[in-house]
Amino acid sequence: GGFANVWHGSYDERDVALKELQIYEQDDLKAICRVFYREVLVWKFLRHPNVLPFVGINESISRFCMISPWATNGNITQYLKQDCMCDRTKLLQDAAAGLSYLHTLGIVHGDLKSANILINFRGEACLADFGLATFIHNVNTIAAFASTTGGIRGSVRWMAPERMDPEGAGYVSSQPTKASDIYSFGITMLTLGQVFTGVIPFHNSRNDAAVIAAVLSGKRPSRPPQPQAEEVGLSSSVWALIERCWDQDPRKRPIIASV
């Protein structure tokens, strides 16, 4: 990702992914470590079939290197391109179940998008990288970290408007919330149809600034063409749900349990 290096490795005779966060500012390293290990500790105790399991930390590479199972099928977009006949709706139901589990525990994902929905060896969708956006937000006062990672900027196309302009929405910060997760899930649901069209959200916008301007003005991605989109699960009822999820007003979005 934009704020981490990822390697394929082996641990205890199984394939694993090693994700090293890119930390460039050393002045407040102890404070960053406290935030990081707090987030990792939460992940360690999570148990759900649709949440990527925690394996450990590899301090020989970096004190900010996390280990998780290797997703042999890649993320949901990569998987759907390989297996166009799979049940897309079931995969999104998997993702919704994982998000519901996190929200029930009071955990906000913060960076929900297609790249962070991985497909395990059983063909099930698992949420990954939850908590990293919160981690980034909590250390965002360190200018070098905020300016070099580009982590949040890289997810602008999935980002809720109130995170782009907190003051305009009546918020005091851009910290992710359950409601912003729901917005991102709505954008991610377009995966059903956009695998067919081969485009990303706001594909007509050439840069993040254009996306931000569009989202803050209330614009959203257009509906993928019919009947092909409906054939892969993007029905009128699903589209109606997507529109509820990405409502400009966070208070009007559904909770994940009702999705």
Q: Is residue 142 part of a domain?
A: yes
Q: Which sequence positions are flagged as catalytic?
A: 111
Indicate whether 48 belongs to any domain. no
Residue 36 falls inside a structural domain: no
**pLDDT-based confidence at 153, cuts 50/70/90?**
very low
Assess if residue 209 is contained within a domain.
yes
Residue 209 pLDDT > 60, yes or no?
yes
CB 214 within 8 A of CB 202: yes
Question: For residues 219 and 234, what is the distance between their CA atoms, to the nearest angstrom?
Answer: 20
Nearest-angstrom CA–CA distance, 225 and 215 = 21
What pLDDT does 154 receive? 47
Q: Is residue 8 part of a domain?
A: no
Residue 35, pLDDT > 70, answer: yes
Structural domains counted in the chain: 1
Query: Who wins on pLDDT, 140 or 104?
Result: 104
Write down the pLDDT at residue 29.
74
Chain segment 63-72, per-residue pLDDT in tens: 778 899 999 9
Question: pLDDT-based confidence at 97, cuts 50/70/90?
Answer: very high
Mean pLDDT of the chain: 84
pLDDT of 183 > 50? The answer is: yes
* CATH code, domain carrying 135: 1.10.510.10
